[in-house]
Amino acid sequence: MVHIPTRGEVPVRLGPTITPTPDYGPRKMSRDPYTDPVQYELERERVLGTHWILAGRSEQAKEPGDWVSFEGHGETVVITRQPDGSLAAFHNVCQHRGPAIVKDWQGCGARRFTCPYHGWVYDTTGKLVGVPEREDFSEEHLKGVRAPAVAVDEWGGWIWINLAGPEKAGSLAEAIGPEIMADLGRFAMEGMILHEVVEWDVPVSYKAIVDGFNEVYHVSELHHTPPEFTKQARVASFHIVGDNYMCFVPRPDTLDKLAENWDHHKYAICHYVVFPNTVFNCNPEHVQVFNPIPLGVDRTRFLCWEIIYPGDMNDPEYAEYYKRTMAHWAALKVVVGEDIAIYEQLERTKQSSAYKEHILSARECKIHRYHETMANKIRD
């Protein structure tokens, strides 16, 4: 049996008893956050360097010695499965003269990592354990040297890292928050499997991509959805949860069923944003994670992860699930392609003197709130 997510004990989030938009109202905001290099540097230091960000699927590093890498906003990190089943993470930076220690993105069976330049050797937690011709160095200089540790944790079958390091990082559970953990937890992502990761190199700020997933206003025009979807999307509810967000959009043709018990897991597209750049898009049968990783102030590596429920292809019920899900995933990739096309339009106006500010509707509240949160976090 394929897992069918249901609302369970989670509160009703849609319907006549729920206020669909927070009391926030229409707003305006400057366009500067998307192009200001000074702000980007502050974000690297105070947001991307101190918050929990996604680094892969747990299943990519299953056995002791398996490892995956994260690379983004100028940082490079290696995450390795330890013999006790936990994960360790460290900056992929040789402490001798600075190059990346590990070349590949992913591997298995590692016991040591050796820098390709002069052969300094690190264990799978990043501790320096070997230096060729050690007698030529000062022991004082080598004492306690390690590739700096990065905090790492797992939730929902995802690997998360925090560059602040194990001493300073707060807890991942607190960052996601109990409400999102409970609501998003109903999809049981820890039991899902990775089907595909699609990658785009996009010529705009990562925040412009988060914006695109923080509203449904663009769906009718950009994605050419039928009028029924537009009508149903107006029933959507938007929720601000600390620094994070939830949004629930009734799926086409489900409004009647939804009204029976307001089971948003079963009958709505459930959408969650974990600040600063992890976006979960949950259809009942499969989940996409949209992960815009900044490479510069206005350049982004945009990863789209597709995870599905596992099963036996010989089981006709599962084979049918798989076929249905794959057809929907193929359609979604076309939709994401349309979003990418808009980022190209945004690239053309990046330096335009006529692009000064955004005029946001009440139902674009998450966008204004997101940039307000960002501004508060980088403030002195």
Question: Which residues bind to Fe ion, rule: CB under 5 A?
Answer: 339
**Residues between 205 and 244 with contacts to ligand FES, criterion CB under 6 A:** none
| Nearer CB in complex with Fe ion: 153/364 | 364
Taking the least distance from each CB to ligand FES, the nearer of 95 and 277 is: 95
Residues in region 75-104 near ligand FES by CB under 6 A: 94, 96-97, 99
Identify which of 32, 33, 136 has the alpha carbon closest to the alpha carbon of residue 373.
Answer: 33
Backbone angles phi, psi at 107, to 5 degrees: -165, 180
Tokens linked to 325: 């899900």
Token pair listed for 82: 């330890």
Closest to Fe ion by CB, 306 vs 339, is: 339
Are residues 89 and 151 in contact, defined by beta-carbon separation less than 8 angstroms?
yes
Q: Measured from the CB of residue 140, what is the shortest distance to ligand FES in angstroms?
A: 18
- How far apart, in whole angstroms, are the C-alpha atoms of residue 47 and residue 202? 21
Residue 96 interacting entry, from ligand FES, Fe ion, none, C-beta within 5 to 8 Å by type: ligand FES
| Nearest CB to Fe ion, comparing residues 42 and 219 | 219
Per CB under 6 A, the segment of 22-30, 115-123, 189-197, 341-349 that binds ligand FES is: 115-123
Of the pair 120, 309, the CB lying nearest ligand FES is at: 120
Q: Interface with ligand FES includes 115 (CB under 6 A)?
A: yes
Report the nearest approach of ligand FES to the CB of residue 146 (Å).
Answer: 13
CB of 95 to ligand FES, least distance (A): 8
Per DSSP (E only), the strands in the chain are 27-30, 52-57, 67-72, 75-81, 87-91, 106-107, 112-114, 121-123, 128-130, 149-155, 158-162, 193-202, 237-241, 244-250, 268-274, 278-282, 286-296, 299-308, 357-360
Interface with ligand FES, residue 148, by CB under 6 A: no
Residue type for 126, please?
Answer: G
Provide the minimum distance between the beta carbon of 166 and ligand FES in the complex, in angstroms, as a whole number: 23
Phi and psi at residue 28, to the nearest 5°: -120, 155
**Taking CB under 6 A as the rule, does residue 187 contact ligand FES?**
no
Q: Which does 120 bind (CB under 5 to 8 A by kind): Fe ion, ligand FES, none?
A: ligand FES
Partner touching 339 among ligand FES, Fe ion, none, CB below 5 to 8 Å by kind: Fe ion
Total of residues contacting ligand FES (CB under 6 A): 9
Residues for the chain: how many in total? 380
Of 209, 168, 184, 192, residue with least CA distance to 294:
209
d(Cα 125, Cα 356) in Å, to the nearest integer? Answer: 47
Q: Does residue 55 interact with ligand FES by CB under 6 A?
A: no
Residues in contact with ligand FES, shown as a per-residue x/- string from 118 to 137 under the rule CB under 6 A: xxx-----------------
CB of 219 to Fe ion, least distance (A): 6
CB of residue 61 vs ligand FES: minimum separation in angstroms? 24
Cβ atoms of 125 and 82 within 8 Å: the answer is: yes
27: contact with ligand FES by CB under 6 A: no
Q: How far is the CB of 151 from ligand FES (least distance, A)?
A: 24
Cβ distance to Fe ion smaller for residue 183 or 339: 339
- DSSP string across 322-343: HHHHHHHHHHHHHHHHHHHHHH
The yes or no reply on residue 46 touching ligand FES (CB under 6 A) is no
Could you tell me the smallest distance in angstroms from the CB atom of residue 121 to ligand FES?
9
Torsions phi, psi of 100, nearest 5?
-65, 135
Distance CA 331, CA 333 (A): 5
- How far apart CA 154 and CA 56 sit, in angstroms, is 10
Residues 62 and 68: their CA atoms lie apart, in Å, by 10
Closest distance of CB 304 from Fe ion, Å:
11
Contact 57, 79 (CB under 8 A): no
DSSP 3-state helix, strand, coil percentages of the chain (rounded to 5)? 30, 30, 40
Q: Smallest distance, Å, CB 91 to ligand FES?
A: 13
Binding-site ranges for ligand FES (CB under 6 A):
94, 96-97, 99, 115, 117-120
